Amino acid sequence: MWNPDSLDYEGAIYRPPSEARSIILQATVGCSHNSCTFCTSFTDKRFRIKERTIVEKDLQKAARLYSGVKRLFVADGDALIMPMEHWRWLLPAIREYLPWVERVGVYATGRAIRKKTSEELIWLRENGLGIIYLGGESGDQQTLAYVRKESTVEQQIEAGHRVKAAGIELSVTVLLGIAPRGRSLDHGRQTGQMLTAMDPDYVGALSVILCAGTELEKLVRQGEHQLLTPVELLMELREMLAHTELSQGLFMANHASNYLPLKVEMPQGKTRALALLDAAIHGQVNLRPESSRAL
């Protein structure tokens, strides 16, 4: 039953695992790109910015419902794409209604980041935006084109650099199992190289789960895309981690979609994680059962 005191949410709402205890404020509906071949998250929504009056009512409700909750996530799939006039209202409004919130987070495409000037990104950080979650997916240009991402590898690296230069924490999501046939290890290796070039604070490595109605599912049915076995996914992940050099931070592959949960403190935990992956590849470690994998 609809609760009149709940916030205004249109459709399914998605947020990063690390925002599980955050206030979720839907300021936009859908994803401005919405063309990736593996994703159905926003296909039932046409991207738009929600009316300011609705968002302000949600902030008023959140002030009553979530007193003391220190993190807030701005949804939907690419809310950073909002023009600065919206952000210049929204972040001060969050501070006004929810003064206890210490960090605001948001999903972003590489294009959304690049559309903001360096000065605008610094303003966002100074006014509460503490972390940007960039959907990088791959550092292999052929794989990016194959899944129809909106940015090139070079553009994604540029976007990552600009986030870091502004003093905003950067979390980059990458996706195992999306490369075209024969490019699994290339995808793994070059994604590791991309992550090294970005040096994000966090990496989240997920494994693809086939969703009905996606272009990728159609390619699998037609025999044009072959899903990797669990061992092949582990080999791809090992190649990725082996070629990832971070100055600090976490490399996480502990999402429910993965067969082997990993949380690697970089750089000191990398050697041990590679050894665990080697053991798993050789059948010496129990993997998450297929029935327990989920998005």
Judged against a pLDDT cut of 70, whether residue 242 lies above it is answered with yes
Give the pLDDT band of residue 137 (cuts 50, 70, 90).
very high
Let me know if residue 160 belongs to a domain: yes
pLDDT at 118: 97
DSSP, collapsed to helix, strand or coil, labels residue 215 as helix
Is residue 5 domain-resident?
A: no
As a whole number of angstroms, the distance between CA 180 and CA 211 comes to: 17
Is 295 inside any structural domain? no
Query: Could you give the number of structural domains in the chain?
Result: 1
Instruction: Identify the pLDDT of residue 64.
Output: 96
Residue 7 lies in a domain: no
Give the whole-number percent of the chain exceeding pLDDT 70.
98
Please tell me what DSSP assigns to residue 248.
Answer: S
Residue 133 in domain = yes
What pLDDT is stored for residue 1 in this prediction?
Answer: 34
Rounded mean pLDDT of 135-140?
96
Say how many C-beta atoms besides its own lie within 10 A of residue 172's C-beta: 26
Would you state the pLDDT for residue 41? 82
> Above 70 in pLDDT, residue 4?
no
* Whether pTM exceeds 0.85: yes
CATH code at position 125: 3.20.20.70
Is residue 229 scored above 70 in pLDDT?
Answer: yes
Q: Is residue 180 part of a domain?
A: yes
- Report in angstroms the alpha-carbon separations of 96 from 80, 102, 103: 20, 12, 14
Cα–Cα distance, 273 to 141 (Å, whole number): 27
Cα(201)–Cα(172) distance, integer angstroms: 8
Quick check: is 247 in a domain? yes
Checking if the pLDDT of 26 tops 70, the result is: yes
Residue 228: pLDDT over 90: yes
pLDDT at residue 162 is higher than 90 = yes
CB-count exposure of residue 182 (10 Å: 0-12, 13-18, 19+) = exposed
User: C-alpha dihedral over 35, 36, 38, 42, to 10 degrees?
Assistant: -50
Is the pLDDT confidence value at 227 over 50?
A: yes
Average pLDDT score over residue span 277-288: 97
Considering Cα of 114, then 187, then 233, then 31, what sign does the dihedral take? Answer: positive
Position 150 in a domain: yes
pLDDT value for 3: 52
Residue 212 in this model has a pLDDT that exceeds 70: yes
pLDDT digits (tens, 9 = 90+) for 66-101: 999 999 999 998 999 999 999 999 999 999 999 999
> How confident is the prediction for the chain on average, in pLDDT?
95
Q: What is the pLDDT of residue 44?
A: 80
Alpha-carbon distance of 108 to 132, in angstroms, equals 7
pLDDT for res 42? 84
pLDDT value for 2 = 39
pLDDT in tens, 265-282: 999 999 999 999 999 999
Residue 211 is predicted with a pLDDT of 87
The SS3 of residue 153 is: helix
Q: Which domain holds residue 152?
A: 17-282
Burial of 247 from C-beta contacts in 10 A (0-12 / 13-18 / 19+):
exposed
- The 3-state DSSP class for residue 46 equals coil
